[in-house]
Structure 1
Amino acid sequence: MTSRMRAEIARIDASRLNWVDFTAGVAEAVRPLIPFDAYCWHTVDPGTILFTGSVNRDVGCSGSWLAHYEYVVDDVNKWSFLANSGRIAGATSIDTHGDLTRSARHRSHLTYGFGDELRVSLVADGIYWGAAAFLRHADQPWFTEADVAALSTLSSAIATGLRRTIATQLSGSPRVDWGPGVVVFDADGNPESTSAAAERWISELVEDPAPDHPSESKIVRSIAARARVIPPGTDPLELAARARVRTRAGTWLLLYGTRLGTDGRTAVIIHPATPHDVAPVVALAYGLTDREALVAMQCIQGRPTKEISKALSMSPYTVQDHLKSIFDKTGVRSRGELVGQIFLDHYATRWEKPATGPPGLLVRGIETT
C-alpha cells in the first residue's frame, strides 16, 4: 500500500504544483490510508528549523500557540525532535502510553474536540524541510503503530516533493521592497508594536489562513520565541533565531529575532534576503550534493574553473563534471543562467555580497566564502 502511495506522491509532485497545492494533494491521497479529520502543514528553514510557511485545514491555532508548544515547552513528538532523532513520525496516544493528557499540547486544545494526533517530520537526504500533523476528533479511534510506520515511510517522498517546491515560483506577482520591518514583543511574548513595513511583508508570507493580526504570524512568532528562550551569551552572533522565508511572489526574506536590552523584550526584523543568505537553501532545494553546492557558490562569486579548482582542491575536470551535474539539476545551460536565473533573479531582490558568511544559516557544513 505504501509503495502505491509513494508512486501517487511522485505523480502529484510531477504536476509541478506550489507547496500549498502539493501538500493539499498529498493530504487527500493519504486520507484513505490513514483517515483523519483535520491537518496542518508547515515548511521550515533547514538551517535553523524555524517555520517559514503554514497551512491549516479544519483546525486553528494562533502563531503564539504554535511557537510556544513547538519551541518553548517540553512535550511529546515535537517536530524538531522527530526529525533529529530519526523517529520521523509519532502518535500522541502511543507516546503518552494511552493518556493523552500527559501532552501539554493536547491539554491546551481539549476544548476544540480533538483526540489523537499523528505527527510527521518531512526529511529528505537527512535534511528537515517541513512538518505535518493529522488529527482525529475525540470520538474517533486512535492512530495505530501501523499508521505511524506508514507515515514515516512516506516522509522522504513527501519531503522530496516539498523540497522541489522551494524552487518553484508561487505566483507571478510583481516583487516589491518595502524596506526593513520590525515587530516588537514584551518579555512575556505579547506584541508591543508592528511597523507598517512589517505588516506589508507579513501579508506576503504563505500562511493559510492568514493571521488575525500581523503580530500573530506563525513565522514571526516562532522566531520571536526562539530569540526569547536562547540563554544570554550563548548565541553572540544571533544566528539561531533566523529564517529564510519565501513570499507568495517568490521573493526571499530574511527574518531574525534579537533581544532588546536586559528586560526580556525581543524584536523580529524582516527584510529582503541577499543571494548569500539564500544560496545554501537553493542549492539543497535543487538536490545539489555538498561538492556541487560548493562549486555553485564559487560560480556565484564569478570565479573561473581554474580558481574554483584551486579553492576546492579538485581538478578542473572534476569541476566541469560537477558543473554539468549542476546544470542538469537546475535546468540551465551556462554559468550565466545559473547565477542570473537561479541564484539572483529568482531568489533575491538585490545583490549584496557581505564580507563574511552567516554560518548559523548554513546546512550540511556548506561554506559560501
Structure 2
Amino acid sequence: MRIISVEAEAFMVPLPRYFHGSNYKYTHKKGMFVRAKTDQGIDGFAYLGDDFGLGQSIASAVNEDFSKVLIGRDPSDVKNIWYDMRPLVRDILGDRRVALHAQALADILCWDLHAKAQGCSVVDLLGQQRDHAPIMVIAGYYTPQNSLGDLANETRDLITLGGRGMKLKVGGLSVTEDVERVKTVRDAGGDTFNLAVDANQAWSLDEALHFVNACEGLGLAWVEEPVHWDNDIADLAALRKMTDIPICAGQSEVTVAGVASLIDAKAIDICNLHPGYAGGVTPWLESAELARQNGLKVANTGEPQLSASLMLACGHGMSIEIYHPDRDPIFPKHCPAFDARTDGYIEDTCRTGWGIVPSDV
C-alpha cells in the first residue's frame, strides 16, 4: 500500500462559553484535520488540537513539506517515515511548535493507515492490554464567580455524564482558595471519585509545597505540572521528595530525551508527554516504554482521539482524559466508537485505525 495524497486543513469551532485555566483561556476549539488516500482505496484520518493558534501554519507545513515525505511511501514503515521527516523540524529559525505538530499529524496518520491495512484497530496493532479504562474529565475551569456550589454541581453533573473522575484546574487563585476547590470536588464526588489536579506550571516551589501539604489526606491521584517552567526539573524533583502525592509532568517536553531527563532526576511518578507537542505517537510510545522500564505510570493530556487507544494498549496507563462536550465538541462527533461510556469507563469498540470518522467540522 502506498500513500498517493495528503491534505490538511485547520478548523476553529466557537465554544458556548469560555474555559479559564490557571493562566490561559479557551474560547474556541481549534485544531487541524489531515486526510490521506492510498493506492488500495484505504483512506486515513487524523486530527490534533491547536493550543497555540498556529493551525493554518501547521496545515500548510503538512501540505507543502511533510506530504512530500509521505507520498509514495508504505505507511506501515511508520518509524522510518518518522525519522525521514525529522530534518523538517530542525530549522533553528522556524517555529518548532509548527514543525512538531505537522510531524505529529503525519505520524498519527501513518499509524491509522498502518492499522487499517492490517484490518485492525490501533489498539490491536499495538497490543491490547485492557478492554476498558476509567474516564477522567478535564474540568473545574474557573468562572467569574468561582462559586464552590457551582463546582460541586459540576462534579455531580460529570458523574451523570459518565465520568469516573476529574482533573481539576488549579493555580488560578490563591493556594488556599484552590485547596477549598479540591475539598469541594472531593465532597461532591465522594471517596471513590478519581481526583487529580493540574496547575499548568502556575506555582513556585514554595506555593506547590504549600498546596500538596494542605491536600494530604484528600486522596489526590496526582498533581500535574505544579511548578513554573523556569527550573521545573529540579523543582519537581525537590517537591517529589517532600510529598506522597504522585507528581505528573512531561507535557511540556518535546522529546523523549526531555522525558528521560525527568526520569533520571527522579522528578516524576507519571509521565504525560503530549503526542502533538513532541512530534507524534511514535515518540510517545518510546517515552511510555521508558516510563514502564523505570516503574512509572503514563497519562495523556487531552487528545482523547489518541488516548482512547493508547491507554488501552498500555498496562501502566492511567485514565482516558476527555473534556465536557462544551469544551471539546470534536471528539464525540469524530470518534463515535469511543464516545460510548459504561459505568465510568471507555471500552474498546473501535474496529479499524484510530476510529476517527471524517465529517464536516
Q: Which of the five TM-score ranges fits, normalised by the shorter chain?
A: under 0.3
Please report the TM-score for the alignment, with normalisation by the length of structure 2.
0.24
Please report the TM-score for the alignment, with normalisation by the length of structure 1.
0.24
Larger radius of gyration: 1
